[in-house]
Amino acid sequence: MKKRILSGIQPSGEGIFTLGNYIGAIRNWDIMQEEYECAYFIADLHSLTVRQDPATLKKQSLSAFALLLACGIDPEKSLLFIQSHVESHAELAWILNCYSQIGELSRMTQFKDKSSQHADNINAGLFTYPALMAADILLYQADLVPVGADQKQHLEFTRDVATRFNNLYGETFKIPDAYIPKAGAKVMSLQEPAKKMSKSDENKNATVLLLDDPAVIMNKFKRAVTDSEKEIVFRKGKDGINNLMTIYGVLADKTNEEIEKEFAGKGYGDFKTAVGETVADALAPVRAEYARLIADKAYLEKQILEGAQKARAISWKTLRKARKRVGLLELPRS
């Protein structure tokens, strides 16, 4: 049997998904569905830890769903659903909250980072975010979870809580392992290449969005920060060039050595143009397919409903087992 792999992505932020999301995660989702039994979801409940405009969140959730389809997620091969449409996530999150320790949650780096970013809204949901993430994973008995460096801690938390629960009540949850792509796992800001590319970056030139027009993409790469040297080579201290080489290498399927040889004797301007063109070309089919899908409301609604129904059926099996383990009374059948 194929191993099950699960991943979610938030729909919040202008432009929905970035080039970093695409290279680090979504691009691999398309590839992985051939090798694994895949489950992907729009993590709209997680988005609520930050104040959202209701109408905007609804629109972005629909756009995110359509964009994943446009990126190659096939609902005939993979499970694709919206998190809030599957009630099991919230219920299991509460149960797992009761098996999560305050000390564990308070050590989460992301909680500390988000608290400093949103000092006016340090809410309980932000603090217990890892329990909901654990529920997302454990409900589907996932074998593997694609994680970036900033999510490793949350996966370790999930493993710890699942192990604690299993030790108390018997085998209930599968203990998931991390899946880390070999290349392109982390794309950095085009303006501050020492930090990760983010859709929340106030500098619009720092982030490439999947739905950016080709001209916009080219302009952003032409303005990308590099260094005062002239050599296109991957080495410590050349964060900007290293980032551009990572992006180009993944999308053009070339090694650093091949890139260095290709651009030997050429300037940064030539290299930036080549990277920009490669990115624009790679995203062109995605933009075209997204435009087609977002215009077909009936098709999207059908896929959203079918995805929710499948996810409910799978997740309920795990939730029912967990409910029994902790002693919750089952509802009598009518």
Q: Can you tell me the distance from the alpha carbon of 313 to that of 318, in angstroms, rounded to the nearest whole number?
A: 10
**pLDDT of the residue at 149:** 63
HSE value, Cβ hemisphere, 13 Å, CA-based, for 103 = 1
Q: Which of 240, 277, 226, 232 is nearest to 258 (CA)?
A: 232
- The pLDDT score that the predictor gives to residue 110 is 75
- Catalytic one among 77, 186, 199, 222? 199
What pLDDT is recorded for position 147? Answer: 80
Tokens of 284: 């062109």
Domains and CATH numbers, the chain: 4-180+297-326 (3.40.50.620), 204-292 (1.10.240.10)
Q: Which one, of 169, 165, 172, 95, lies nearest residue 128 by Cα? A: 95
Structure token digits, residue 50: 């930050």
Burial class (CB in 10 A: 0-12, 13-18, 19+), 81: buried
pLDDT value at position 278?
97
Give yes or no: 59 in active site: no
Q: What pLDDT is stored for residue 13 in this prediction? A: 63
> How far is CA 79 from its chain centroid?
15
The mean pLDDT values, 10 residues at a time, for the chain of 334 residues are 92 78 85 91 92 92 95 95 98 97 87 74 88 97 84 90 98 93 75 90 92 96 94 94 95 95 94 97 96 96 98 98 96 81
Decide: 211 and 287 in contact? Cβ < 8 Å.
Answer: yes
Q: Is 114 one of the catalytic residues? A: yes
Per the CB < 8 A criterion, the answer to whether 221 and 205 are in contact is no
Query: CA 248 to CA 275: how far, in whole Å?
Result: 5
Q: Which amino acid is at 215?
A: A
* pTM score, whole prediction: 0.89
| DSSP per position, 100-164 | S-HHHHHT-HHHHHHHHHTTT---HHHHSHHHHHHHHHHTTT-SEEE--GGGHHHHHHHHHHHHH
pLDDT value of residue 200: 79
- What the block records as the tokens of 84 is 């809030």
pLDDT score for 243: 96
Active site residue 261: no
Q: Which two tokens stand for residue 327?
A: 């002693």
CA 158/CA 221 separation, integer angstroms: 38
